[in-house]
């Protein structure tokens, strides 16, 4: 059970979809309950035929306040009278207007914290449970496997497990109550912790994506916990490394694929390093793929390097991987904070599989930086002068050789999804017997 599942093109759907494909190829009988109308591109192929899949409908609970406001005000709506520009400006800048916006924002935050339990997909809970009921009308699973976020999937699995009388395993691809990325008032945090404990105590076992998080959940719940990396799919990189042509752009192309968390995963140190390089920076291009330009352009402009930065729209999954392989260097941004220590995004393993060197911004003893250092796959540098020095080295290497050499194949050894899923398959079999 997972909100994200192919064809929606997100990293969560990649992990869950490829695990489903692995199980089917191993001749397990698999059924899936997933979300629908995700709001993301639907360009991700599953790769196998899956007969038992239900895309359950959902209700966006965050639309209700706006719809209610429209309905209540409709009888009183009058034609808008023209407002002089000066009066409009005065009104928008007035203290009363600012106070009104502040009250509206506070009420909106209160509504979200009260209604989005455990998250903004709670309106999928009923549909997921009903979808599972329909799926299991003439088919009985031996085990339920639910992956979050969103953690509404875990609530649904708990209910279905109780209804069918079968055990379930929870996968936490990210943290739930302890996620530092979502600022919440203390009272909401207490609710999240209570809801997490109430849900996870009913599982047979837990799965997460790094060992620091696994240690945390073992301590929290005293249950078996498996660390299963996101890994990479060898089928997505069929060309032998020695046959992949090197990037051919005259520029040193630094590629980034995905979104940005403003204030947490920040390209500013790289942009400042470009500024320090002076005229030498004209030989570099930083390309963001599928990134919100509003999170990029202001930072590039502040460093006065916007002309060196490109923002391109998202691509289908296979084309995104091709973009990564054709970049000279791949940029990975993590939060430079101890709370990020166990965070390792799926994109990191795609980068390693692409065998392109990485520039990592973030926590030096975090999981991605540690793995990259151990395998000679990249450098974690946060100060602009240090980044500038590394860029000079790459520029010189590209000038001398015409390209940046690929990493040795040993850099991705043992990180394939096949190996990770074999471990998960074994863990699930052991946990289900306990």
Contacts 24+ apart (CB under 8 A), 24-31: 24/48, 24/50, 26/425, 29/139, 29/141, 31/135, 31/136, 31/139, 31/141
- Predicted pLDDT of residue 8: 94
- How far, rounded to the nearest angstrom, does the alpha carbon of residue 146 sit from its chain's CA centroid? 17
Which residue would you say has higher pLDDT here, 16 or 77?
16
Instruction: Give the domain range for residue 205.
Output: 11-60+118-231+418-433
Averaged pLDDT for residues 201-209: 97
Confidence of residue 77 (pLDDT cuts 50, 70, 90): low
* Residue 1 domain flag: no
Same domain, 397 and 422: no
Average pLDDT on 250-263 reads 91
Distances (CA, A) of 295 to 266, 383, 387: 9, 20, 21
- Let me know whether 406 and 424 are in one domain: no
Q: In which element (H, E) is residue 192 found?
A: helix 186-200
| Rg of the chain over all Cα atoms, to the nearest angstrom | 24
State in Å, rounded, how far the first CA of the chain is from the last one: 22
Q: Could you give the number of structural domains in the chain? A: 2
Residue 92 banded pLDDT, cuts 50, 70, 90:
very low
Looking at 240-249, 262-271, 387-396, which range is the least confident one? 240-249
**Same domain flag for 216 and 333:** no
Q: At 135, which CATH number?
A: 3.40.50.2000
Q: What pLDDT score does 322 carry? A: 94
For residue 66, name the pLDDT band (cuts at 50, 70, 90). Answer: low
Annotate 283-332 with DSSP letters as a single string. GEEEEEES--GGGTHHHHHHTT-GGGEEEE----HHHHHHHHHHSSEEEE
User: Does one domain contain both 384 and 267?
Assistant: yes
287 or 68: which carries more pLDDT confidence?
Answer: 287
Q: Are residues 157 and 239 in the same domain?
A: no
Q: What percent of the chain has pLDDT over 90?
A: 79
Q: Does the structure show a pLDDT above 80 at 372?
A: yes
Q: How far is CA 69 from CA 98, 123, 289, 296, in A?
A: 20, 20, 37, 34
339 in the same domain as 212: no
User: Is residue 224 domain-shared with residue 373, that is, in the same domain?
Assistant: no
- The larger pLDDT score, comparing residue 82 to residue 364, is at 364
Sign of CA dihedral 368, 118, 222, 337: positive
Whole-number Å distance between alpha carbons of 379 and 374: 11
**What integer pLDDT is reported at residue 90 of this predicted model?**
34
């Amino acid at each position: 059970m997972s909100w994200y599942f192919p064809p929606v093109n997100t990293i969560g759907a990649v992990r869950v979809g490829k695990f489903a494909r692995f199980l089917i190829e191993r001749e397990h009988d698999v059924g899936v309950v997933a979300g629908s109308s995700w709001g993301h591109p639907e360009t991700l192929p599953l790769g196998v035929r899956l007969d038992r899949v239900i895309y359950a409908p959902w209700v966006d609970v965050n639309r209700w306040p706006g719809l209610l406001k429209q309905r209540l005000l409709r009888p009183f709506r009058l034609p808008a009278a023209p407002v002089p520009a000066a009066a409009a400006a005065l009104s928008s800048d007035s203290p009363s207007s600012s106070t009104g916006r502040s009250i509206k924002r506070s009420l909106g935050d209160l509504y979200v914290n009260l209604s989005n339990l455990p998250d903004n997909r709670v309106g999928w809970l009923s549909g997921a449970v009903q979808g599972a009921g329909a799926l299991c009308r003439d088919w009985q699973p031996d085990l339920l496997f639910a992956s979050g976020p969103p953690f509404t999937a875990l609530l649904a699995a708990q209910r279905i497990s109780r209804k069918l009388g079968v055990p379930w395993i929870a996968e936490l691809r990210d943290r739930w109550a302890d996620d530092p990325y979502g600022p919440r008032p203390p009272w909401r945090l207490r609710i999240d912790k209570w809801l997490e404990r109430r849900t996870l105590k009913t599982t047979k076992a837990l799965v997460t994506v790094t060992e620091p998080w696994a240690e945390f959940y073992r301590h929290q719940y005293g249950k078996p916990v498996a660390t299963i990396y996101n890994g990479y799919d060898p089928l997505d990189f069929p060309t032998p490394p020695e046959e992949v042509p090197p990037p051919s752009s005259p520029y040193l192309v630094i590629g980034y694929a995905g979104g940005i968390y403003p204030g947490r995963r920040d390209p500013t140190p790289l942009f400042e390093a470009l500024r320090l390089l002076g005229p030498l920076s004209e030989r570099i291009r930083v390309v963001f793929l599928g990134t919100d330009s509003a999170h990029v352009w202001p930072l590039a402009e502040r460093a006065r390097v916007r002309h060196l930065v490109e923002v391109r729209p998202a691509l289908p999954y296979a084309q995104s991987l091709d973009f990564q392989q054709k970049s000279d260097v791949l940029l990975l941004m993590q939060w430079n904070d101890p709370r990020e220590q166990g965070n390792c995004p799926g994109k990191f393993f795609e980068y390693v599989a692409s065998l392109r060197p990485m520039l990592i911004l973030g926590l030096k003893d975090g999981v991605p930086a540690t793995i990259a250092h151990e395998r000679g796959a990249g450098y974690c540098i946060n100060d602009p002068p240090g980044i500038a020095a590394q860029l000079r080295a790459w520029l010189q290497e590209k000038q001398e050789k015409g390209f940046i050499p690929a990493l040795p194949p040993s850099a991705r050894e043992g990180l394939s999804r096949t190996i990770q899923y074999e471990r998960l398959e074994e863990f699930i079999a052991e946990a289900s017997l306990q």
